[in-house]
Chain A
């Protein structure tokens, strides 16, 4: 791609902005790197450079970010970039060296929303992301959870069209707990980057039901910057025919006695593709870490593809780590067993898959409502 192709996007950078120089600098870096493609990306994701080509010449438009069921003492508001300190504004850029989707969002995004959860609330907060335009959208959502607070978010990403490049930051306070049940039912091109910062004894858990109809990528980077923090991310991936679902999870252990669990269960039919790459990164001074990552891919068609790459970078011996990947068709003995009990082949397969979903994410009522009929 040439810088010319991004002219329209560049026009969105308002010359009156407070951090204009830095934003233009980041934009130049983005132009130099471009979106990742099959040649320069480290693994088998869909080719974002090629997929995004038609969108980058279009205008930037806002997504609809709706928050419902919020306790009166918790707050959701628009944030102009001038309201964020430089440190907060460019926090994602200081974290990533080369993440061009994040660079583009920081350089050109004009939509920042903040959700401050200062009080524990038992009822789930509902967050909806809607994008119905055919353009490109670069929203940023910052979710701050104060110390000693517990909350649950039911999160629905429904990008119906266009290219949604969404950046979500989760800042989880000391001894706080945030559970996110995420639905991805996007029909356009979606790249969602989640950046999770975990302070002391904090917990972040994401149960993710991913049902993309085009090309979708979720990248979740968890940063254990406080001791005894825990991050869990479990994805059920059921991409539609000819759809691709990329899941990247990076767990970075900067402090001791932290735990992470990450994994995917993918149900892949027809020409669908799921790619799971997970990294456990444990720094050398960090003690007592526990981490596990695994994936299971159920291939229901000869043409379906599952890519799995569990990785570990461990620089300390005081660690318990597990990793594994199983990909294959369903066990015919299990299917036969169920058929001898009167279930036809399709029902037998659905029951087995339903069991795998249940045993992985539990009976999560909110997620179950979005499951395809056959797995409910």
Chain B
């Protein structure tokens, strides 16, 4: 049995005929924040989508073990209900569904899938308000339609609210920092740091060192051309900031 929360072993993934991930391996233990940095087109977003079970990609070899379970062939909702959450780079808009109704629906689905009792309406309202308060989200926002008319920053804050409500074991943040102003970045990163504990971990995909300065990751991985080219500590992000990705090519 692995002590790691996530183990990716020699993962090869194709989009159509093109191989995007070319033997990627990665391990994330509990209670750690890991970061992935890499140039455009390296395969960062493909990796997060594959981990979430997106069917557009074909896994040609390798495996993904999450909580000692092989999730390589699982459906997105099955992976989600095991405790893996992806905060999207571009969250979609769902007209006509209020944020509150959406949170209630996904929280209920998650509880039921894990054999837990569903919270009653008043307990759930209290629970959501507590989580929303951490991010400075008020009741008016909870009444709005999911992501409809939200600014880029509001969408990312909403993603973070879903993260707090579902309280997953592994969170993938796919460029959550893009589109966030300085204040919003502080609120989101504080929310994430506050969540981190011995029973969860985070995988942060980013282009910018600023978020990593706040999250202080245990490890930084450089993803180039579908493989992890180098793994190091936070100083690796500093090196990327100064020198770019050219030396990893």
A binds B: yes
Q: B97 and A351: CB pair below 8 A?
A: yes
Task: Determine the interface band of chain A, counting residues with CB < 8 A from chain B.
Answer: 20 to 34
Task: Assess the B96–A356 pair: CB atoms within 8 A.
Answer: yes
Interchain CB contact (< 8 A) of A359 among B81, B85, B95, B166: B95
A341 surroundings in chain B (CB, below 8 A): 77, 80, 106, 109-110, 162, 166
B88–A342 touching, CB < 8 Å: no
Q: Of the candidates A333, A339, A355, which one forms a contact with B95 in the assembled complex, judged by CB atoms under 8 Å apart? A: A355
Give me the 5 closest cross-chain CB pairs, A-B, nearest first.
A355-B96, A359-B96, A339-B76, A358-B96, A355-B97
Could you tell me which residues of chain B, from 79 to 100, have a CB within 8 Å of some CB in chain A? 79-81, 85-86, 88, 91-92, 94-97
| Interface positions of B (Cβ within 8 A of A) | 52-54, 75-77, 79-81, 85-86, 88, 91-92, 94-97, 102, 105-106, 109-110, 113, 145-146, 162, 166
Task: State whether A342 touches B97 (Cβ < 8 A).
Answer: no
Question: How far in angstroms is the closest Cβ of chain A from B91?
Answer: 7
Evaluate whether A343 and B105 lie within 8 angstroms (CB atoms) in the complex, with A336-B54, A359-B145 already known: yes
Not counting A331-B92, A341-B80, a sample of 6 additional A-B residue pairs whose C-beta atoms are within 8 angstroms of each other reads A340-B52, A341-B162, A342-B80, A342-B166, A344-B75, A355-B146
Given A351-B105, A355-B145: A340 in contact with B92 (beta carbons within 8 A): no
Q: Residues of B contacting A88 with CB < 8 Å?
A: none
Asked whether, in the complex, the Cβ of A342 is within 8 Å of the Cβ of B106, the reply is: yes
B76 proximity list for chain A (CB < 8 A): 336, 339-340
Q: 13 interchain pairs (CB within 8 A)?
A: A337-B94, A338-B106, A339-B77, A340-B77, A340-B79, A341-B80, A341-B109, A342-B113, A347-B105, A351-B97, A351-B105, A355-B96, A358-B97
Q: State in angstroms the CA–CA spacing of A347 and B97 once bound together.
A: 13
Q: Give chain A residues whose Cβ lies under 8 Å from the Cβ of B96.
A: 354-360
User: A352 vs B105: C-alpha distance in the bound complex, in angstroms?
Assistant: 12
Tell me if B94 and A340 are in contact (CB < 8 A).
no
What CA separation (Å) do A360 and B91 show in the bound complex? Answer: 22
Tell me the minimal C-beta distance from B134 to chain A in angstroms.
19
Are A337 and B91 CB-contacts (below 8 A) given A342-B80, A342-B110, A342-B166?
Answer: yes
A334 at the interface (CB under 8 A from B): yes
Q: Which residues of B contact A340 (CB under 8 A)?
A: 52-53, 76-77, 79-80, 85-86, 88
Q: CA separation between A352 and B96, bound complex, in Å? A: 8
Residue of B nearest to A360 (CB): B96
Residues in A whose Cβ lies below 8 Å from that of B105: 343, 347, 351
A360 neighbours in B (Cβ, 8 Å): 96
Given contacts A344-B77, A351-B97, A356-B95, contact A339 B53 (CB under 8 A): yes
A340 CA to B82 CA, complexed, in Å = 11
Answer whether A333 and B110 are a contact pair too, CB < 8 Å, given A342-B81, A351-B97, A359-B145.
no
CB pair B75–A339 under 8 Å, yes or no, is: yes
How far apart sit A339 and B76, CA to CA, in the bound complex (Å)? 5
CB within 8 Å for A338 and B113 given contacts A343-B105, A351-B105, A359-B145: no
Residue B80 contacts which of A339, A354, A355 (CB distance < 8 angstroms)?
A: A339
Assuming A343-B105, A343-B109, is B94 touching A338 (CB within 8 A)? yes
Which chain B residue lies CB-closest to A334? Answer: B92
User: Chain B: which residue is nearest A356 at the CB level?
Assistant: B96
Check if A337 sits within 8 Å of B92, measured CB to CB. yes
A343/B106 in contact, CB under 8 A: yes
List of B residues within 8 angstroms of A351 by Cβ: 94, 97, 102, 105
Q: Contact mask A333-376 → B, CB, 8 Å, 1/0? A: 11011111111110110011011111110000000000000000
Query: Which residues from B are CB-within-8-Å of A334?
Result: 92, 94
In the assembled complex, the Cα of A331 lies from the Cα of B94 at a distance in Å of 10
Flag if B109 contacts A342 (CB, 8 Å): yes
Bound together, the chains give a CA A34 to CA B97 distance in angstroms of 47
CB distance from B45 to the nearest CB of A (A): 13
Residues from chain A with a CB closer than 8 A to the CB of B52 are 336, 340
With CB as the reference atom, state the residue of chain A lying closest to B88. Answer: A337
Kindly supply a per-residue 1/0 record for chain A positions 297-341, scoring 1 wherever the CB is within 8 Å of any chain B CB and 0 otherwise: 000000000000000000000000000000000010110111111
B162 touches A354 (CB 8 A): no
The CA of A343 and the CA of B113, in the complex, are separated in Å by 10
| Residues of A close to B77: CB separation below 8 A | 339-345, 348
List of A residues within 8 angstroms of B146 by Cβ: 355
Which residues of A in the span 96-149 have a Cβ within 8 Å of any Cβ on B?
none
Determine the chain A residues whose CB is within 8 A of the CB of B86 once the complex forms.
340
Query: Measured between C-beta atoms, what is the minimum distance from A346 to chain B in Å?
Result: 10
Closest residue of chain B to A331 (Cβ to Cβ) is: B92
- A332 to B: closest C-beta gap in Å: 8
| Cβ contact within 8 Å between A355 and B94 | yes
Question: A355 to B86, alpha carbons, bound, how many Å?
Answer: 23
Indicate whether A352 sits within 8 Å of B94 (C-beta atoms), given known contacts A342-B110, A343-B106, A343-B109: yes
